[in-house]
Amino acid sequence: MPKRRIIVIGDIHGAFRALEPLVDRLSLQKEDVLIFLGDYVDGWSESRSVIDFLIDLGQTHDCIFLKGNHDAWCAEWLEGGYPDPSWLLHGGLATIDSYKGIPPRKLLKHLTFFRQLLPFYVDTSNRLFIHAGFTSQNGPGGEHFMSTLTWDRTLWETALAVDERLPEDSPRYPKRLLLFNEIFLGHTPTTNYDITIPMHACNVWNVDTGAAFKGKLTSMDVETKDFRQSEIVQTLYPLEKGRNVL
């Protein structure tokens, strides 16, 4: 019997041309689990196609979809809210364009998808999957403001600062990092550090490899840490700038 794989996938940002072939190359088996870290939209021109693809994928495979900050922005607009000006500056305009002419029945399916996104997920091996991070020493469930889970960068920055400098039994070791065996997140592109592959610090893995900008879309097997990547996303959208306009 094939061994079940748990595969985590980083921030997509409307890059359907990267997502579809990357998933195809995974040669998924029925028992595999896919965990998506959020930020499905905003950046490249095919956010609507990304959501269509994920909805269909979730009907045939075991998928866990987490909420990113860009997904929260998009959902608010789809629900009839006024588009956040910051959202428009950070990829929202491309998402709005992709949704032009969407039939009402399909729009309802998309709304249902966004409404069902999880704020975080902890598996049976005490591994945390979250879009951004958390600040509470009681874990993500102890946050006073749920938006922290989609916006926080301090968890990743803390892991980077502490990595290899303090032993885990030090009284100064961050308690947040001791709550879970491993943490998988996105939100902060590794390309910010001139790195194009997943980064590891302490027990935290960052799988956002800059697909919204000049990087690639990445999937990672959480057990083996083997990872696969798309082409550089910008080469797949040669007439677009993605989020490189800022």
Residues 127-171: pLDDT tens digits? 999 999 999 999 999 999 999 999 999 999 999 999 777 888 888
HEC per residue, 157-217: HHHHHHCCCCCCCCCCCCHHHHCCCEEEECCCCHHHHCCCCCEEECCEEECCCCCCCCCCC
Q: How far apart (Å, rounded) are the C-alpha atoms in residues 178 and 8? A: 21
Domain-located, residue 45: yes
pLDDT above 90: percentage of residues in the chain: 93
Model pTM score = 0.96
Residue at 1 is within a domain? no
Does any domain span residue 226?
yes
CA angle centred on 142, ends 82 and 155, rounded to 5°: 80
pLDDT digits (tens, 9 = 90+) for 14-35: 999 999 999 999 999 999 999 9
Cα separation, 160 vs 153, in Å, equals 11
Q: Is 27 within the bounds of a domain?
A: yes
**Which residues lie below 8 Å from residue 239, measured CB to CB, with a gap of 6+?**
none
Cα Rg of the chain (Å, integer): 17
- For residues 164 and 77, the model is more confident at 77
> Which band of pLDDT confidence, cut at 50, 70 and 90, is reported for residue 87?
very high
Residue 1: the pLDDT is 57
**pLDDT at 245 exceeding the cut of 80:** no
Is 14 inside a domain boundary?
yes
Alpha carbons 187 and 207: distance in angstroms, whole number: 9
- Look at residue 71 and give its three-state secondary structure: helix
Task: Give the model confidence (pLDDT) of 165-188 as tens digits.
Answer: 788 888 888 999 999 999 999 999
Of 35, 5, 26, 46, which Cα lies nearest the Cα of 211?
Answer: 46
Query: What is the CATH classification number for the domain harbouring 185?
Result: 3.60.21.10
Closest CA to 18 of 207, 184, 241, 212: 212
In which domain, by residue range, is 107 found? Answer: 6-236
Q: What share of the chain is helix, strand, coil (3-state, %, to 5)?
A: 35, 15, 50
Could you say which DSSP state residue 139 is in? -
pLDDT at 64 over 70: yes
242 found inside a domain: no
Number of domains in the chain: 1
- The chain-wide mean pLDDT, for the chain, equals 95
89-106 per-position pLDDT tens digit: 999 999 999 999 999 999
pLDDT given at position 2: 64
Q: What is the pLDDT of residues 207-220, one digit of tens each?
A: 999 999 999 999 99
The structure tokens listed for 222 are 């959480």
pLDDT of residue 169: 82
241 located within any domain: no
Q: Could you tell me if residue 55 is inside a domain?
A: yes
